[in-house]
Every structure is written in structure tokens, then in C-alpha cells.
Chains A and B, each alone.
Chain A
Amino acid sequence: MRVLEFNDVHRAYQRGSEVLRGITFSLEAGEVVGLLGKNGAGKTTLIRVAMGMIEAQKGSAKVFGLDPRTDALEVKRRVGYVSEDQVLPEFLSVGEVIRLHRGLFPTWDENLERRLREQFALSPKSKIKSLSKGQARQVALLCAVAHRPELLLLDEPAGGLDPSARREFLETSIQLLNEAGTTILFSSHHMTDVERMAGRIVMIHEGRLLLDNTLDDLREKYTLVLVPSGSDDRHARLKSATGCLSVRDQGEALHAIFSMEPERCRSVMERDLGIPNAYCTPIALEDMFIELVGGRS
């Protein structure tokens, strides 16, 4: 079943320049997808479109087949949302914030609420403004998941947290995944978090979809090729070769990404492109990110 579906989503800032320039992908039930991109790539805007907080100007977002703008209530009841810049009312206590959320959701699970409150050692009496960043995010997570949402939208949920708070957040998310098989779309700059949680990644760059694949495929079916720069037209030859996603000039060497296994890439270099001494190696997610989006002007 399609839980979330973006279909050619366009959205511009109020000033007019487009943030999203036609994004299309979807999440099946139970999938955990990491959304990657540089700051300003459009990740937050995309997640807000899914939440119905803003509208797609062209194309559409569907959640459980519903329109998040016109079926806002139904969608919000079945979705959990945490973002880095989410603000909880500072003058309220933890208990009051939780009670507020409990009242909004008919499916609220009090056992889960209690369990998470104990796990996070949150005292109901503490005022929100007295909490650390990590604790405040834990309150937000509790409020986002205690109604047992079918879809979780997490926008940099661990942004600004220290490593142990991040790990705790991750552990809780994995427990929840284990219990309910929740579908999750989450954006993060922490590649290791993405690699731990996600089965698939979607990379966007300048409002367009750059890559959509499973993490295992990224490791097994993509290759980083390092080639001595040389004085011939090898840059152009690499760029026009089948399966080449990007070529970057690093001075001494050219870095290219190919969507094929290292083994096959090696023979393509020698036989088809006539480039000897190419070093073909599997590529980690972080390097893939740098090669594909980090180096572009």
C-alpha cells in the first residue's frame, strides 16, 4: 500500500524562486526512507507539503491516498511529526503538553506514553523552558508517536543533539519500528543515523530528485572511480560513458561515480574507455553525497 506519494511537486518561496522543482517518489507501508540533501535543497519544504502545512503549487502530495490540505484532520491523526525547529509552548509543563496532545488523538496509547516518559526520565511537572534541547526533543517525539501513527515524518529529528541524546532517539525509533512497522520518512545530516535506520535513501539537490535507491544497492551497485587527470579528453569520455552519474576534477585526479559494480566498472575503464590505472572501489554514503551534491557549483 502506498502510504506517502509525491507526484511532480513544485513549490516556490514567497519571493518567487522555486525550492521544489518537480519531486516524484513514494513510500510503501513499512518502508524507512532517509531524505538527504544540502541545506536549502528543499527537504523541509517537502516534508511540510506532506504535512499539509504548505501547499504544492503544481503536482500533488498524497498521504494514505488523501490530500493533506483538504483532509487535514484525518491525515494529521494518522501521522506523527517531529522537526528540529519545532517549538513547544515554553510556559507549559511536560505533563500539560502531553495532555494537550492526548486530547487531540483518539488512538492515544497511554501505556506507550508512560513507557516513554519513564525511559526518557521526564518529570510531568518540569516546565518546558527548563528542559535541555535533548529532553525537549524527547517530549516532541513522545507526542509524535504515542498515538501510534502509521506514518512518521521526521525533519532533522536529531539536529542539535549531542551523540548520546541522538543515540537514545535512534534506539527509541527502532523499538517503535519493531513494535509497529511504522512507515518513516526522515531527513538528517548524520549519515550514520541514516545508514542505521533507513532501508532506502532519496537524495535531492536544488529541488530535484538526484538519487532514489536502497542503501544496499548503493553499496553494492555503485562505484567510485579514481583516475589520474592526464592530458587527454578522459574527463569528457568519462562523463559521456553509460552509467556515469558525475565527474569531479580534483586536481591530481578525476573522481567519477558509476552506477555499476566495481568489478564491471574496472573492465569498462580498460576495455571501453581505454583508461588504464583506474581505481574502482565501493562507495560509502557520505562520499556518495559529497561527490554528487557537495562538489557542484
Chain B
Amino acid sequence: MQLHVNPSDELPIYRQIMRQIIDAVAGGRIAPGEQLPSHRDLAEQLVIAPLTVKKAYDELERQGLIATQRGRGTFVSAQLPAVKPEQRLERLRDPAQRLLSQAALSGVPFEEVLDLLQEIRKGMAQ
């Protein structure tokens, strides 16, 4: 798994890490049960403060996406956490809104946004 952070991004660095790990899990680039680098190793690799990586890991752990086993390391959860049905769509509302705003700004019709989603989905599966 290759991660990259951009310190000047408007997204906090710990969120950038979270998002990339979530993307990697969603896209199958990390399998459930697979081990992640320790937060210290990842901090050295990305040249960022160890506490920042720890914050990202703690938050992912709170969401049930990863689990730390004492003395063994940090792993992607074998079973991804169940989300309550009513929360599922709610979680997508914000990113969906942003996507549609962007599309409207760039003059992309709704149908083409759907096509784009299809295309990305195919790409993630590979």
C-alpha cells in the first residue's frame, strides 16, 4: 500500500491518511486481515509527526475499520463494521452534494456524472 500526504492540502493530514486507507480497503488494494505498518514506521515513511498517524489509526479503529492487537500490530478488520441502514445513505450525502456542485460548476450533465461513477467503479474493482 502506497500512501502519500500533502501538508498544504486543506484536509488535515490525519484525514488524508484515513481517506487513503479507506480507499485502499474499498478498492481491494488491502485485504481484510492484512497488516498495516506501525504508526511509527508510517510516520517515518511519510515524514510526518507520529502522533498524526496515531490519530488517523485511532479514528479508523473507532470506526471499526482496523484493529490493533497488542504486541502484534495493526490489522485491517476481518469483517468490516456493519452500518445501520438509516446511516448508510446519510454518510454519502455530503460527498454527493459536493460532487453534484462540482458537476454543475463544470457544466457536466447528470447522466455523465452517472457514467463517471460507473467507470470509477470498474476501475476500483481491478
| A59 interface residue (CB < 8 Å to B) | no
Stretch at the interface among A142-150, A196-204, A251-259: A196-204
A195 and B11 within 8 A (CB): no
Tell me if A95 counts as interface (CB < 8 A to partner B).
no
Q: Which of B12, B40, B44, B48 interacts with A219 by CB under 8 Å?
A: B12
- Within 8 Å CB of B47, what residues of A? 167, 170-171, 174, 196
Given A216-B12, A282-B10, A284-B9, A174 and B55 touching (CB < 8 A)? no
A residues 166-189 with Cβ under 8 Å of B?
167, 170-171, 174-175, 177-178
Task: Answer whether residue B13 sits at the interface, using C-beta atoms and an 8 A cutoff.
Answer: yes
* B8 and A286 contacting across the interface, CB-CB below 8 Å: yes
Contacts of B9 in A (CB 8 A): 284
- Whether A219 and B11, one on each chain, are in contact in the complex, defined by CB atoms closer than 8 angstroms, is yes
Q: Are A197 and B8 in contact (CB under 8 A)?
A: no
How many residues belonging to B are interface residues under a CB distance threshold of 8 Å? 18
What are 24 A-B interface contacts by the 8 Å CB criterion?
A30-B51, A32-B51, A167-B47, A171-B44, A174-B44, A174-B47, A174-B50, A177-B49, A178-B40, A178-B43, A192-B7, A195-B8, A196-B13, A196-B48, A197-B48, A197-B49, A215-B12, A215-B13, A216-B55, A219-B11, A219-B12, A281-B10, A282-B10, A284-B8
Given A174-B43, A174-B47, does the pair A283, B52 have CB atoms closer than 8 Å? no
| Interface contact A199-B11, CB-CB below 8 Å | no
In the complex, the answer to whether B50 meets A178 with C-beta atoms within 8 Å is yes
Q: 8 nearest interchain CB pairs?
A: A195-B7, A282-B10, A192-B7, A216-B12, A219-B12, A178-B40, A196-B48, A196-B7
Q: How many A-B residue pairs have CB under 8 A?
A: 57
In the complex, what distance in Å separates the CA atom of A30 from the CA atom of B54? 13
Q: Which residues of B contact A199 (CB under 8 A)?
A: 49, 51-52
A85 within 8 A of B: no
Instruction: Report the minimal beta-carbon distance from B58 to chain A, rounded to whole angstroms.
Output: 12
Interchain CB contact under 8 A, A196 and B49:
yes
* B4 CB to nearest chain A CB (Å): 13
The answer to whether A220 has its CB under 8 Å from any CB of chain B is: yes
Q: With A171-B44, A216-B55 given, is the CB distance from A177 to B50 under 8 Å?
A: yes
